[in-house]
Structures are given as structure tokens and as C-alpha cells.
Amino acid sequence: MIIWLAFIACTATILFTGTQLSIHGDVLAEKTGLGGTWVGVILMASVTSLPELLTGVSSVVLFDLPNIAVGDVLGSCMFNLLILSMLDLRNPEPLSTRIHQGHVISAGFGIVMLGLVLFGMEAGGRLPALGWVGIGSLLALAVYALAMKVIFVAEQTRMAKISREIAEELRYRDVSLRRAVMLYALNAVVLVAAAIALPELGAEIAAMTGLGQSFVGTFFVAVATSLPEIAVSAAALRIGALDMAASNLFGSNLFNVAILGFDDVLYTKGRLLAAVTPQHVVSATAAMIMSAVAIIGLTFRASRKPYRVSWDSMGMMAVYALALIVLLRLR
């Protein structure tokens, strides 16, 4: 019971600070002129993914739990796309028609990085390595850096076209940039502190329930560390910052996969992706399929929903449910 209470306390703290980050992130997007997409992909995504980063680092360095580290990252990638489909329920029109098509870049790079991770897991120790670090992890880090450059250039081009409209729609004239930065940083610190305890709690839950570390990492810990994305996206939806919500989710997936490369560097016992169970192949594949469905939705841009949810969101939900069923059978 104590373990579950501690787990709930950590997740509640992450949820609250994630909500605050969304508000102050929107202020920073306006004050800096960088735009909601860039702030969402870089600033928001990196901070809301700090739980995954801290969970991964503590999992491989302190607790020797590689399955928790990898399961958390891949499960979070899946869950972030599920969040995107759930946001669609709150809109009368398909969400993919209300956000700009530039998110295809983030989603596409996400598929490339997930493919490299999948390749690294399937090849195991047969791929070249730099010391103990697998080549797939190093390539994923390189692709992340390239993605950030490409997204920055694309967003700057887009912002230049709509700069006049933005100047007329300032919503935070009375909030100083200094105050927004200070509050953003404070909430980020609290969020990090809550994330540190998650991997050990996840391992305890795995032992108590008998579900196994791969399954617990992919779902229990992944959902907990994705709570900032839920909070940020829901708050962004309420204030009308739809592109920030979407870019935070796609950007978080990019950052999450980059975390695996960083974790591999810290996991000095060998290649991280070769040290985990085969179940993670299911999670990586599901995340790639969900990203591809999102790209199709953003490209096709359906004008209406067949039901309360658009077809692309239904597709992502179905893939997530299928992955859950398969992983339950494989545990």
C-alpha cells in the first residue's frame, strides 16, 4: 500500500507542475517570438520529458534496470500519441485539420529514430559499437540534432509569414519575461524531483504484481512519466494553443528516443538495446505505426469526423490497444 501511495504522490506532483509549465510555456512562446511549435518541440518537450530522462538515468546508473528505462521511453512514445488522439475528442473538427502540417516533420523524424532503436534491438550485439555504446544509439542522437535544426528553420519561416497577426493577438502583455522564466524553472525543478523516485517504485510494483519489468516500464511507469505531457496538452487545449499541444507531444517523442541514446552511454555494462527483453520490439513497432497514422491524418486533413473521434485518432487508439494486448500475452 505504501508503494502505491508513493507512486500516486509522485504522479500527482508531476501532473500539477506539468499544468503550470504549459501556462508559463505559452507566455515564453509569446514573449520570445519563437512560436508555439518551436517552444513546444524544444522547451516544453525537453522539460515534460525530464521524468523519462531522470527515470532512464537512475534506472541504468543506480538500479541496473535496463528494461524499466527502455520500456518507459517506448511506452511514453506510444502514450504521447494516444494523448494526441484523446485531444481529438475535445474538438468538433478533426484535430489534424486545426494544427499546421509542419508537425509532419517531427512525426517523420520520430519514425526514423524509432526505426534506429528497433534496428539496434533486433541486431543485438552484432552491430558496430563505439566502446560499449551501440551505433544505433549514436545515430539516434545525431538524427535528433538534425531534427532540431530542420524544425527550427521550418518554424522560423512559418513565423515570419504570420508575425503581423501574432503582434495583434498578444495575450500576456502584463506578464514579464523574467517572471515567466522563474516560474517555469521552479516547476521544472519540482517535476524533476518527483521523477527521480519513479524507477525504484516501478520495480517494486513489478515485483508485487508479477507483471514483469518490461510491462510495468512500458505502461505503469510510462503513463506516470507522461503525465506532464497530459497536463501540458490539456492546458494548451484550454487556452487555444493547439500547435503547442501537438508539438509538445511530437517533440517529446523525439526527445524520448534521444534519451535512449544517452542512457546507452551511461549503461557501461554493455549495449543497452541488446540488454533488454524482446517485448520492447512490440512497443517500438506500435509507436512507429501510430506516428505513421498521425502523418497520414495531417496530410489528408479530413473535413469531418465519422463519430466523436476522427479516423486517424481511432487508428492510433486501436494500435495502442493491440500493443497492450500483445504485451500482456508476452509478459
Judged against a pLDDT cut of 80, whether residue 118 lies above it is answered with yes
pLDDT at 211: 62
Q: CB neighbours of 71 closer than 8 A, spacing ≥ 6?
A: 213, 214, 215, 216, 217, 218, 221, 222, 276, 280, 283
Burial of 246: CB neighbours in 10 Å, binned 0-12, 13-18, 19+: buried
- Residue 125's pLDDT is 67
How much is the pLDDT for 147? 93
d(CA 158, CA 86): 27
Consecutive H or E run containing 134: strand 133-134
C-alpha cell at 128: 558496430
Q: What is the mean pLDDT of the chain?
A: 80
According to the model, what pLDDT value does residue 168 have? 43
Please write the tens of the pLDDT for every residue from 155-205: 777 666 655 444 445 566 666 777 777 887 888 788 777 766 665 666 676
CATH number of 163's domain: 1.20.1420.30
What is the residue-wise DSSP string for 195-247? Answer: HHTHHHHHHHHHHHH---HHHHIIIIIHHHHTHHHHHHHHHHHHTT-HHHHHH
For every residue of 143-199, DSSP letters joined together read: HHHHHHHHHHHHHHHHHHHHHHHHHHT-S-TTS-HHHHHHHHHHHHHHHHHHHHTHH
Q: What are the pLDDT digits (tens) for 295-306?
A: 999 999 888 887
What is the number of domains present in the chain? 1
Among 155, 147, 141, 168, smallest CA distance to 39 is for 155
- 228 contacts 47 by C-beta, under 8 angstroms: yes
Q: How far apart are CA 301 and CA 312, in angstroms?
A: 10
- Angstrom distance (rounded) from CA 262 to CA 50: 13
Distance CA 308, CA 60 (A): 42
What domain range is 187 assigned to? 2-330
* Per-residue burial over 287-301, b = 16 or more CB atoms within 10 Å of its CB, e = otherwise: bbbbbbbbbebbeee
Of 108-122, 144-158, 166-180, least confident by mean pLDDT is 166-180
Task: Determine the distance from the C-alpha atom of residue 137 to the mean position of all C-alpha atoms in its chain, rounded to a whole number.
Answer: 17
Given a cut of 60, whether residue 35 has pLDDT beyond it is: no
Distance CA 126, CA 133 (A): 12
* Phi, psi torsion values for 243, nearest 5 degrees: -65, -35
Q: How far, in whole angstroms, is CA 9 from its chain's centroid? A: 21
Q: What is the rounded distance in angstroms from the CA atom of residue 56 to the CA atom of residue 73?
A: 8
Residue 321's CB: how many other CB atoms inside 10 A?
12
